[in-house]
Amino acid sequence: MSATFDLTRHLQTRKLEQVVENRTAYTIDTAELNIYETHHFAEKVELTFNTPVLASMIRGKKVMHLPNTPSFEFLPGESVIMPANETMCIDFPEARMQNPTQCLALAMAPDKVKQLTDYLNDKAPLIDQKKGWQFDESNFYLTNDSTINQLIARLIQIFTENNTAKDVFANLVMQELVIRLMQTKARQMLLMNYHPYVNTNRLAHVGKYIQDRLHEQMTVKELADQACMSEPNFFRCFKQQFGLTPIEYINNQRIQQAMRLLKTTNQCLADVCFVCGFNNVTYFLKLFKKTTGITPAQFRKTYRQLQLG
């Protein structure tokens, strides 16, 4: 999900001294928010932080080359988590004075991150994962959801304003951001890329069970039985680990499937609705618009217009 972050306060005060990765840093006691701007084509620009870092694109396009990861285009609305002391190698194929690339990098104190993961491992331990909650053990590339975008936008506002309590505000927002990023990572690993874990992790098994039966009606009790857990315990653990309820996740996956069908087929909206497991067209239309911001018909029309150029 793309987002437009407000850099008005930053742009009013920052000094533009370099055309490639001009850096402006805003610092509090436990973190540093860096905003980088590039106004010129460049390749193989290296960047390393000695603390865990969340990098999020604001404007333009980069091509990222990270250790043990295939190169990928980095676009607005996307983020990557990097462990400490790992080097990013970055290309800027489209950066120009009239079309600058803008990116933020939030570097966080390792002891602050560890304090939070230790707390979660004590209060909300993960199911069938010996390592427990981990924020920065490896690179993790994600598309921001609306909540993560809102938290990043709030951090930009806090870091760039002149408020004597900004350390307190920023730490509270960062705490939520770290948790939601770890939940996003868990969803992607266990529910969406479940194959390596399906025989060793009960929630990964549930993820496969859901994907195999998206077109069918499912209950929380049915999923809890698959996980060999009581219904209340399964519901609580699922929401703690993934940041949403089982039914919310199922509906999210059905909407994703509907989007694919709207792109690739000429099926009418009612057929798409029923194929994806919804049994009420009105509810499907309402949920689709709530999730994407537009109706299914508008989504299909916009996609086809883009395909025609």
Report residue 1's pLDDT band, with 50, 70 and 90 as the boundaries.
Answer: very low
27 vs 81: CA distance, rounded Å: 19
Report H helices in the chain.
Answer: 8-13, 110-123, 146-160, 166-186, 202-212, 220-226, 231-242, 246-264, 269-275, 281-292, 296-308
Predicted pLDDT of residue 182:
94
Average pLDDT of the segment spanning 146-171: 94
pLDDT at 2 (0 to 100): 47
CA-angle at 221, arms to 215 and 222, nearest 5°: 40
What is Dmax (Cα atoms) for the chain?
A: 61
Q: Is the pTM of this model over 0.85?
A: yes
What is the rounded average pLDDT of the residues 56-85? Answer: 94
Q: State the pLDDT at residue 309.
A: 65
**Mean per-residue pLDDT, 106-116:** 94
Task: For residue range 266-283, list pLDDT tens digits in order.
Answer: 999 999 999 999 999 999
Alpha helices, DSSP H, located in 190-230: 202-212, 220-226
pLDDT of residue 80 exceeding 60, the answer is yes
